[in-house]
């Protein structure tokens, strides 16, 4: 469990940290200059680290969830089950945002669509931070 949690926290650092850098460090400059290139450059470098980090989150997260509760109880009403459900909802949102960005936004990215990409980056960063909030809930026995 300790090694799983260690990997989970390492992956969380990369996933959340990367998106915060993108949102606060890269996006404002791109919007100011009306140029999507800085975002593209960042994505190109970050992708190689971010996607493996997300995969690690999924594997270690599901693994720890099955240590917290047997699968049959994941959809019950206990606090741990609700936290697992919240993680799965966030994972669904992350996947939907990712697919939408890859298929609909990034291929046709230009100056005009940059604000749309910006809104998207805000949403994915919020889901990343929400993952951490929900994660901390396991230690405190609930979402709030
Ligand atoms: C990018 C995605 C994710 C991030 C950033 C994230 C982040 C975190 C953080 C910060 C914790 C707190 C650990 C602690 O209390 O010390 C945590 C715990 C946990 N996460 Fe995630 N998580 C992510 C995805 C997932 C997924 C997909 C699942 C699958 C259901 C999951 C399941 C868990 C579980 C079961 C714990 C409790 C571990 C424990 O303390 O026993 N996580 N997560």
The rounded average pLDDT for each run of 10 residues, N- to C-terminus, in the chain (144 residues) is: 96 98 97 93 95 98 97 95 98 96 87 92 98 97 93
5 Cα nearest atom in ligand 1: 38
**Can you give the pLDDT at residue 110?**
87
Ligand 1 centroid distance, CA of 100 (Å): 24
CA–CA dist 138, 133 (Å, integer): 10
For residue 61 and ligand 1, the question of a CB distance below 6 A is answered with: yes
Q: How many helices (H) and strands (E) does the chain have?
A: 5, 0
pTM: 0.94
Q: What residue segments make up the domains of the chain, in order of their start?
A: 2-140
Q: What is the pLDDT of residue 82?
A: 97
Mark out the alpha helices in 21-111 (DSSP H runs): 27-33, 37-68, 79-100
Question: Given this model, what pLDDT does residue 130 score?
Answer: 98
Closest of 42, 45, 27 to residue 115, by C-alpha = 27
Residue whose CA lies nearest to ligand 1 atom number 33: 61
């Amino acid at each position: 469990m300790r090694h799983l949690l260690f990997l989970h926290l390492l992956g969380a650092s990369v996933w959340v940290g990367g998106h915060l850098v993108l949102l606060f460090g890269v996006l404002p400059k791109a919007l100011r200059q009306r140029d999507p290139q800085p975002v593209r450059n960042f994505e190109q470098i970050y992708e190689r680290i971010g996607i493996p980090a997300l995969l690690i989150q999924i594997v270690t997260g599901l693994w720890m969830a099955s240590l917290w509760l047997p699968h049959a109880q994941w959809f019950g009403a206990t606090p741990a089950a609700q936290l697992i459900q919240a993680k799965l909802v966030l994972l669904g949102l992350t996947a939907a945002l990712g697919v939408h960005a890859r298929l609909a936004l990034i291929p046709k990215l230009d100056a005009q669509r940059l604000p749309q990409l910006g809104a998207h980056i805000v949403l994915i960063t919020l889901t990343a931070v929400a993952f951490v909030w929900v994660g901390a809930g396991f230690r405190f026995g609930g979402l709030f």
